[in-house]
Structure 1
Amino acid sequence: MKRSVAMLAIAALALTSCKKENAALRIDDATAKKAELAHAESGKLPVIKFASMDHDFGTIEEGTTVEHTYTFTNEGTADLVVSNVKASCGCTIPSYTQSPVKPGGTGEIKVTFNSSGKSGNQSKQVTVTLNTEKGTEILNFKANVTPKAGGIGVVKH
């Protein structure tokens, strides 16, 4: 956004400087102050910081459903908005903080992994879409799924 403000300012200067009068003399203090405030406001961005972006469920039995909650903090200067969270497969269901997270505030992304029909080492990703400069973050988890020996259960990690 800083680039677009700078480009707009350069374009305005280029267009007005083609005239014979000095363009700088036509800018009053109020207009300059508005431009300065707009430039300062454009620098406000949310910054997401996860406690951890990776999780290992360890060894679980096939058919077990496990959950993990990734926690994050907004270390930026504007509200953080998570607009979408998408898992890499249908075996994982994400849920997340849907309200804006104020600067200094915290939020959560919970993933529920169903290991039914899975075996061996499993590595999955969850893509988080948000209003940061980067725009997306990738969360990872893994599990070693062993063949089913008994009933199905839910384990929270």
Structure 2
Amino acid sequence: MRKVILGLSTICLMVFTSCKEDASKKINENSVTEAAERDAVASKFPVLEFEKSEHDFGEIEAKTAVETVFNYKNTGDAPLIITDIKTTCGCTVPEDWSKEPLAPGESAKFTVKFNGSGSNKVSKTITVSANTEKGSEIVKISAFVKPDPNA
């Protein structure tokens, strides 16, 4: 029995080691070049750069609607695509933003409306989801909401 097991082990060892091919012969130069080009393009990202990242409305009366415009530019090497703009609450609404790709060097804008709810110092965050390297950028608005004189 030992001789049979030893014989089978020897045959298996010879089969596995004799079928070994040189891996360097399997590399195709065209595949290497294509992979290098693909990796070079994949490392290029758009860069979302805002003219201003914060806007302060100053003092406003309660329930007074105000709005501001955030201008931005694609300073990266690839087309910028904004997929979504979200706010921290329903009292702040982003509008007028394009879902079309923005070429490198081009500018665009979106509007943020705030309905004046809250009291005292109010800060809101707007998250811009895009195909940048980070995946999202943040802009902020703030205001000092004075009490409603009619209340």
TM-score, normalised to structure 2's length? 0.79
SS at match of 1:70: strand
SS at match of 2:73: strand
Aligned residue in 2 for 1:97: 98
- Residue identity matched to 2:58: G
Q: What's the offset of the Cα at 1:149?
A: 4.3
Aligned residue in 1 for 2:108: 107
Q: Does 1:41 align with 2:44?
A: no
Q: How does 1:45-124 map to 2 (within 5 A)?
A: 45-95=45-95, 96-115=97-116, 117-124=117-124
CA–CA distance in structure 2, aligned partners of residues 70 and 30 of structure 1: 46
Q: How does 1:14-33 map to 2 (within 5 A)?
A: 20-33=20-33
Q: What's the offset of the Cα at 1:130?
A: 0.9
Aligned residue in 1 for 2:7: none
Q: Does 1:127 align with 2:120?
A: no
Rg (Cα) greater in structure: 2
Q: Does 1:142 align with 2:142?
A: yes
SS at match of 2:36: helix
How many correspondences in the alignment?
A: 131
Any unmatched runs of 5+ in structure 1? 1-18, 151-157
SS at match of 2:138: strand
Q: What's the offset of the Cα at 1:147?
A: 2.4
Aligned residue in 1 for 2:16: none
Aligned residue in 1 for 2:11: none
CA–CA distance in structure 1, aligned partners of residues 148 and 133 of structure 2: 44
TM-score, normalised to structure 1's length? 0.76
Cα distance per residue 1:49-81 (max 9 Å; x no partner): 111111100011112111111111111111111
CA–CA distance in structure 2, aligned partners of residues 138 and 27 of structure 1: 45
SS at match of 2:127: strand
Q: CA RMSD in A?
A: 1.7
Cα distance per residue 1:14-53 (max 9 Å; x no partner): xxxxx84332332233222211111111112111111111
